[in-house]
Amino acid sequence: MKKSALLVFCLFLFAISNTFAQKFGYVDTEYVLSRMPEYKEAQAEIEKLARGWETEIQGMYKKVEEMEAALQAEEVLLTAEMSAERRQEIDREWKEVKEYQKQIFGFDGLYFLKKKELVKPVQDQVFEAVERVAKNNRLQIVFDKSGDLVMIYTDPIHDYTDYVLEELGLGENQESSN
């Protein structure tokens, strides 16, 4: 009797452990994004805007530096009051340039907002595809291999990157994403 009770108990534990077992996989979203033409276009647009803003800001810095050089060259000819006024003007210009640079490249600046505006829709497509792949493959957990999560070992059997590419209509993958 004890053996049959032990057998029933073991079967019960086995059934419970299988019920709570979770299936997982991982996706390399960085690789997926690099294969998407929309992402490449968004990145190119962002880089173009950034170069334009950098050129504009460099021009502003150069103008202020020229103002400083002119002040140094003429300072011996100026009264203390005139020199102080020019120094205040230069300091105000420096402040404006730095403020403008912060508005463009600072936290929540135009660069950040534009990047978010252009890249987010593409990222949303990837995350929706990941969700569909997860549901189709009954995955409870999907890790992003390209994120900050450190994975010491990954068995390629759990790599669902190609399924996400297929879900996005990006075709067969000739090279490995590992």
At residue 149, the pLDDT reads 65
At residue 7, the pLDDT reads 43
At residue 160, the pLDDT reads 86
At residue 144, the pLDDT reads 86
Tokens of 136: 């189709």
At residue 25, the pLDDT reads 86
Residues 6+ apart with CB under 8 A from 85: none
What's the average pLDDT block by block, 10 residues per block, for the chain (178 residues)? 48 49 83 94 96 97 96 91 94 97 94 94 91 87 77 69 90 54
Which alpha helices (DSSP H) does the chain contain, by range? 2-20, 29-34, 37-74, 80-105, 110-136, 161-167
At residue 4, the pLDDT reads 54
CB burial readout 53-74, b (16+ within 10 A) else e: beeebeebeeebeebeeebeee
At residue 21, the pLDDT reads 67
User: Strand, coil or helix: what is 139?
Assistant: coil
